[in-house]
Amino acid sequence: MRDIYLRFSNEEQMRQKLINSGFEESEGDLFHAGVCLDIVGVIYSQVNSDSENPEYIADDGWHVNIRIVDSGITLPELIPFVVEPKSPSRVWA
């Protein structure tokens, strides 16, 4: 099992790259046998330390987490979009 964090420029690029790498689209959702998909979307970071009036800014990109369950799946088309966040916003349980 491998967990991979991906960042695309926007939602459209994400859809195209996932479909190009073998994901199938059905009723707006994306599927790939042997892969779990978590579309995070836009991530926001707090830019001040005021807990009563926090201010947030959108981080660059459209974020997706995937968990590859089938060890035979490699998805080389997605390698250019792999990121390694220091503190992921969402992780697999």
- pLDDT for the residue 19: 97
Q: What is the pLDDT of residues 25-61, one digit of tens each?
A: 999 899 999 999 999 999 999 999 998 999 999 999 9
Q: Taking 90 as the threshold, does the pLDDT of residue 10 lie above it? A: yes
Which helix (H) or strand (E) covers residue 15, if one does?
helix 11-20
Which helix (H) or strand (E) covers residue 13, if one does?
helix 11-20
- pLDDT for the residue 88: 87
Cβ proximity of 4 and 66 under 8 Å: yes
Q: Taking 90 as the threshold, does the pLDDT of residue 91 lie above it? A: no
Helical H segments across the chain, by residue range:
11-20
> For the chain, what is the mean pLDDT?
95
Rounded Cα distance, 50 and 56, in Å: 11
